[in-house]
Amino acid sequence: MQNRRTLALLAALTLTAACGGEPPANPPADTGAESAPPAASSDALVGSWNLIMIDMADGEDLMPVEDAVPTLELSAEATPTGSRSFSGFGGCNRMMGSYDAGSTGRFSMAQPPAMTMMACPDPVMRVEQMLALGLESATSWAVEGDALEIGFGGGTLRFERPTP
């Protein structure tokens, strides 16, 4: 029993010594290279967006039906979990949920969007289903001027700000 205590004490002391340590004697030198420009603020996402195209990775492009253009409203307000809320129209059904967006271009949904469940004609439903799938599996975002791109494994959702 004494040997086990001694071994346990030696193991604890060894781990403590290994985890401690001195800071590096020579900090990295300033190379004189300019630092990267600051990342875009996720506040650039906030506002209203109209879907103009779903650019599928397999080469198929899905265009919204003229009278059923999907919209997205991204809010700056945080939900109780710390995510931001969004609402929208998929071309047939209303949707809402929450998203997380980092200044480094990371984008994700906190959970799949909640949607109403009306059935609509095929071209409208196909665009809506791919929009919902794209939002649910989104991984990145980029805003340039009045254009928003949300990337997902199957392609890119392309939006533009509505014209007044």
Domains in the chain and their CATH numbers?
A: 42-160 (2.40.128.270)
Q: Which is higher by pLDDT, 112 or 12? A: 112
Average pLDDT taken over every residue of the chain: 81
CA distance 13 to 18: 9
Cα angle, residue 56 at apex, residues 158 and 133 outer, rounded to 5°: 80
Q: In Å, what is the CA distance from 21 to each residue of 8, 14, 24, 137, 146?
A: 21, 12, 9, 42, 51
Per-residue pLDDT of 100-156, as tens digits, reads 998 788 999 888 899 999 999 999 999 999 999 999 999 999 999 999 999 999 999
Q: Does residue 132 sit in helix, strand or coil?
A: helix
Predicted pLDDT at 156: 98
